């Protein structure tokens, strides 16, 4: 960067991934400066202004926005869901490309190579977990699908759609956990353990909502999981 203006600076292709991301954000935010002033106005620039400016109208809303940032999802589930959407989890296909491993076979089924698509949508183990989950919430297998399909279901309330979506997101989180247990401890968790963990997570959402005094949410959730 020596001798260059930060505005015009472009990172070299050999720069680290993190540095290139920082430069990308700079490229996006500099569009908000007109002359030397933020949005051409004589106002003090705050970090939150830049964030809001990027969010509103300057970044297209992705189709999975409502499913990943659904307020019924636990924060740790949202984070893993976000990584899945970007295909950024360190699945075996990526580790192989990085030269970190030569192991390609899925730890959960042992039949196919592991990548995001296989692990979260096609793996036998994953399908088994989802079958058990849908049985628990009384959904027909033909209604099975991605979180987006859950959010798109008609004839059910918006609340119920959000709950269903959060259960799918939670299941993906626990499948990733089971995969890590398989890789590190060389054992495969029983699919029932996944469903149980999803159920317990659901209860913690309920408790959280109770703290917020959203009694109606709590009652709906109890009905949903058969506690009432």
**By the criterion CB under 5 A, which residues form the site for Zn ion?**
106, 108-109, 123
Q: C-beta of 120: minimal distance to Zn ion in Å?
A: 10
Question: Which is closer to Zn ion, CB of 33 or CB of 121?
Answer: 121
Using the minimum distance from each CB to Zn ion, give the nearer residue, 123 or 189. Answer: 123
Q: Between vectors from CA 128 to CA 101 and to CA 125, what angle results, nearest 5°? A: 10
DSSP state of 116: H
| 173 vs 221, beta carbon nearer Zn ion | 173
First to last CA, the chain: 63
Smallest distance from Zn ion to CB 107, Å: 8
Nearest approach, Cβ of residue 151 and Zn ion (Å):
26
Q: Which long-range contacts (CB under 8 A, 24 or more apart) does 68-74 make?
A: 68/147, 68/169, 70/147, 70/151, 70/162, 70/165, 70/166, 70/169, 71/162, 72/162, 72/163, 72/165, 72/166, 72/205, 73/165, 73/166, 73/169, 73/170, 74/170, 74/201, 74/204, 74/205
To the nearest whole angstrom, how small is the minimum distance from the Cβ of residue 132 to Zn ion?
A: 16
């Amino acid at each position: 960067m020596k001798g260059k203006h930060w505005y015009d600076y472009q990172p070299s292709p050999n720069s680290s991934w993190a540095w290139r991301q920082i430069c990308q954000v700079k490229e996006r935010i500099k569009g908000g400066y007109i002359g030397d002033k933020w949005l051409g106005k004589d106002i003090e620039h705050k970090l939150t202004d830049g964030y809001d400016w990027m969010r509103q109208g300057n970044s297209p809303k992705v189709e999975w926005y409502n499913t990943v940032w659904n307020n019924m999802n636990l924060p740790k589930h949202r984070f893993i869901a976000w990584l899945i959407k970007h295909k950024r989890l360190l699945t075996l296909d990526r580790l192989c490309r990085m030269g970190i491993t030569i192991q390609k076979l899925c730890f959960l089924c042992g039949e196919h190579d592991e990548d995001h698509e296989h692990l979260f949508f096609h793996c036998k183990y994953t399908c088994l977990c989802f079958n058990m989950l849908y049985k628990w919430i009384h959904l027909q297998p033909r209604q099975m699908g991605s979180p987006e399909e859950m959010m798109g279901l008609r004839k059910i309330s918006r609340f119920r759609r959000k709950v269903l979506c959060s259960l799918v997101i939670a299941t993906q989180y626990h499948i990733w956990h089971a995969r890590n247990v398989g890789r590190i401890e060389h054992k495969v968790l029983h699919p029932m353990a996944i469903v149980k963990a999803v159920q317990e997570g659901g209860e913690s959402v309920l408790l959280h909502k109770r703290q917020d005094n959203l009694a109606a949410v709590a009652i709906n959730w109890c009905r949903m999981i058969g506690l009432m």
